[in-house]
């Protein structure tokens, strides 16, 4: 038995569904849910919902089947909001397509559950949190960015760029000769100030570059469409 | 393969029927040859020959444009957008909506690779802007995919001079609060009124 967040649901046959969860102790894990297309379970199997999952299979490498029980209906409050729904779609798609299967990431589970909960906030405070979530996602995959000091000088002041190759921060002075090729580092990611809408977009451009480079382009894939849609919506 | 086996195999491909129930249905049809099998065969042939998809709204009917699109009693200023023909039938069955319909043919789904170009969205945009439509009702399912599609259509229609509305959601008639899921309760509480 484990806790899980619903990432995706694929129809299987007439009444069942193959459901992929981000679980607390077993990473991204798929399983067959009998009656997954039924009226009773359709509401439970919405991406973002938190469930208690019991998985059974004859052999470890089998797909196996899940018995799911709804813990928290996290998706329902987000349905009226285009931007929050897009953020939910984006993070579910990133984890579903970017995280290796059955690799334990308990911190990512906690972080993602907190992120989805934060989407139901009264203001736009979830936006910087979402950018931070993508940074944490990269770190979980082993591609964390070092934004603590300048990769060129080792200094910790005036960090305004990120190297698109190393993922390390670059100070304003050290970045002058290469500034056309460096990615802007929005201050809120290193604890400076409240982010503007433009800062959020710069943050997403930064994380998007490295997620694409390390997780998708390396395997000749492109960023999932819901991630692009989130950027489109926030750009308006 | 005999005709009976062929019939069983075809019936077994129907939703809700497996090989065993298909055999039962076949036996029943054979026993009721004159009152059921032959009329059913004629009805199936007629349906296969005459049913077509309405080029205006995406409904299925024996006429193209369909009976709803050509009905002069319908309010042509109202356009209700639904995911599937089954949703159109449900709304039409209730006999409380007198406007026109538009069937999308599904919802946006990145997972299944269904994008806007795979649905009847561009036809909807053209129709909503060209015809005498003043209000577009988005009657999508209350699912993540359904509402993502509704938001997408709202954005595409934002520049048009149209009223865009959505179906309300909350406690169903006959529903007991104790049995409602958290999401429905939350939506009902948010949409409370005096």
Tens of pLDDT along B20-62? 999 999 999 999 999 999 999 999 999 999 999 999 999 999 9
Question: CB B186 to CB A43 under 8 A?
Answer: no
How many domains does chain B divide into?
A: 2
Note whether A126 and A226 are same-domain residues. yes
Q: Indicate the residue of B16, B144, B187 with minimum beta-carbon distance to A85.
A: B144
pLDDT at res. B122: 92
d(CA A163, CA A140): 20
pLDDT at res. B174: 86
Question: CB A70 to CB B151 under 8 A?
Answer: no
How many domains does chain A divide into?
A: 2
Note whether B27 and B87 are same-domain residues. no
pLDDT at res. A206: 96
Q: Chain A: nearest CA to B186, how far in angstroms?
A: 7
Q: Indicate the residue of A44, A47, A96 with minimum beta-carbon distance to B144.
A: A47
> The domain spanning residue B23 has which CATH number?
1.10.8.420
The range of the structural domain enclosing residue A40 comes to 2-73
The range of the structural domain enclosing residue B22 comes to 3-50
Question: CB B144 to CB A89 under 8 A?
Answer: yes
Q: Indicate the residue of A43, A82, A93 with minimum beta-carbon distance to B181.
A: A43
Whole-number percent of chain A with pLDDT over 70 = 100
The residue from A19, A48, A73 where one domain ends is: A73
Cβ neighbours of B90 in A, within 8 Å: none
- Asked whether residue B179 is domain-assigned, the answer is no
- Asked whether residue B110 is domain-assigned, the answer is yes
The residue from A73, A102, A134 where one domain ends is: A73
Please name the residue of chain B whose CA is at the shortest distance from the CA of residue A19: B111
- Asked whether residue B59 is domain-assigned, the answer is no
Which whole number is the average pLDDT over A188-196?
89
Tokens 């179906």 sit on residue: B167
Instruction: Give A48-74 pLDDT, tens digit per residue.
Output: 999 999 999 999 899 999 999 999 889
> The domain spanning residue B127 has which CATH number?
3.40.1360.10
pLDDT at res. B9: 94
- Asked whether residue B173 is domain-assigned, the answer is no
Say which residues have a Cβ less than 8 Å from residue B53's Cβ, sequence separation at least 6.
Answer: B59, B60, B64
- Asked whether residue B183 is domain-assigned, the answer is no
- Selected residue of A45, A76, A93 to mutate for chain B interface (largest B Cβ count, 10 A): A76
Cβ neighbours of B15 in A, within 8 Å: 14
d(CA A1, CA A51): 10
Which whole number is the average pLDDT over B181-194?
82
Q: How confident is the model at residue B129 (pLDDT cuts 50, 70, 90)?
A: confident
Bridge partners of A161, per DSSP, are A170, A184
Q: Does B181 touch chain A (CB under 8 A)?
A: yes
**Phi, psi at B121, each rounded to 5°:** -85, -40
Note whether A20 and A108 are same-domain residues. no
What is the dihedral angle through the alpha carbons of A79, A84, A87, A89, rounded to the nearest 10 degrees?
0
Q: Indicate the residue of B111, B143, B182 with minimum beta-carbon distance to A10.
A: B111
Say which residue, B182 or A234, is predicted with more confidence. Answer: A234
pLDDT at res. B184: 82
Bridge partners of B138, per DSSP, are B81, B166
Q: Does B184 touch chain A (CB under 8 A)?
A: yes
pLDDT at res. B131: 65
The residue from A17, A41, A73 where one domain ends is: A73
Q: How confident is the model at residue A142 (pLDDT cuts 50, 70, 90)?
A: very high
Question: CB B111 to CB A96 under 8 A?
Answer: yes
Instruction: Answer whether residue B140 shows pLDDT above 90.
Output: yes
d(CA A46, CA A89): 11
Q: Does A8 touch chain B (CB under 8 A)?
A: yes
- Kindly provide the b/e burial profile for residues A193-204, where b requires at least 16 CB atoms within 10 angstroms of the residue's own CB: eebeeebbbbbb
pLDDT at res. A233: 93
Note whether A193 and A103 are same-domain residues. yes
Note whether A134 and A218 are same-domain residues. yes
Chain B, window 75-114: residues with a beta carbon less than 8 angstroms from a chain A beta carbon: 110-112
* Residue B118 C-alpha from the chain's centroid: 16
Tokens 């297309």 sit on residue: A37
Note whether A122 and A226 are same-domain residues. yes
Mean pLDDT of chain B: 91
Can you read off the two tokens belonging to residue A168? 């390390």
Note whether A13 and A104 are same-domain residues. no
Note whether B73 and B162 are same-domain residues. yes
Cβ neighbours of A93 in B, within 8 Å: 110-111
Question: CB B148 to CB A86 under 8 A?
Answer: yes
Instruction: Give A82-94 pLDDT, tens digit per residue.
Output: 999 999 999 999 9
Which whole number is the average pLDDT over A210-218?
92
- Asked whether residue B24 is domain-assigned, the answer is yes
Cβ neighbours of A86 in B, within 8 Å: 148, 151
């Amino acid at each position: 038995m484990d806790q899980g967040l619903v990432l995706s649901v694929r129809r299987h046959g007439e009444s069942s569904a193959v459901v992929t969860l981000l679980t607390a102790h077993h990473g991204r894990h798929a399983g067959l849910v009998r009656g997954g297309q039924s009226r009773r379970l359709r509401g439970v199997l919405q991406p973002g919902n938190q469930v208690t999952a019991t998985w059974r299979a004859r052999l470890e490498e089998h797909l196996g089947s899940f018995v799911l029980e709804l813990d928290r209906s996290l998706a329902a409050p987000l349905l009226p909001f285009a931007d929050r729904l897009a953020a939910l779609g984006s993070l579910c798609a990133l984890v579903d397509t970017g995280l290796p299967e059955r690799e334990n990431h308990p911190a990512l589970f906690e972080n993602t559950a907190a992120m989805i909960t934060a989407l139901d906030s009264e203001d736009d405070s979830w936006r910087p949190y979402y950018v931070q979530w993508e940074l944490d996602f990269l770190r979980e995959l082993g591609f964390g960015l070092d934004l603590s000091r300048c990769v060129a000088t080792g200094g910790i002041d005036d960090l305004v760029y990120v190297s698109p190759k190393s993922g390390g921060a670059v100070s304003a002075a050290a970045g002058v000769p290469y500034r056309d090729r460096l990615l802007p580092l929005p201050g809120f990611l290193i604890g400076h100030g409240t982010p503007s809408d433009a800062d959020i977009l710069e943050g997403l451009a930064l994380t998007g570059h490295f997620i694409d480079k390390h997780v998708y382009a390396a395997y000749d894939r492109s960023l999932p469409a819901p991630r692009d849609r989130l950027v489109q919506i926030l750009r308006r | 393969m005999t005709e009976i086996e062929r019939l069983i195999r075809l019936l077994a491909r129907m939703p809700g029927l497996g090989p065993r129930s298909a055999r039962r249905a076949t036996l029943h049809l054979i026993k009721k040859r004159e009152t059921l099998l032959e009329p059913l065969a004629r009805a199936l042939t007629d349906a296969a020959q005459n049913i077509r998809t309405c080029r205006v709204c995406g409904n299925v009917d024996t006429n193209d444009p369909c009976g709803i699109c050509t009905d002069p009693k319908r309010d042509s200023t109202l356009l209700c957008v639904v995911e599937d023909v089954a949703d159109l039938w449900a709304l039409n069955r209730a006999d409380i909506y007198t406007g026109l319909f538009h069937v999308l043919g599904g919802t946006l789904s990145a997972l299944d690779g269904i994008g806007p170009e795979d649905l009847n969205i561009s036809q909807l945009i053209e129709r909503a802007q060209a015809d005498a439509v003043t209000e577009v009702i988005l009657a999508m399912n209350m699912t993540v995919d359904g509402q993502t599609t509704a938001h997408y259509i709202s954005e595409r229609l934002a520049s048009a001079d149209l009223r865009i509305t959505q179906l309300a959601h909350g406690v169903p008639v006959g529903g007991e609060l104790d049995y409602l899921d958290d999401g429905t309760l939350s939506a009902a509480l948010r949409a409370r009124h005096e």
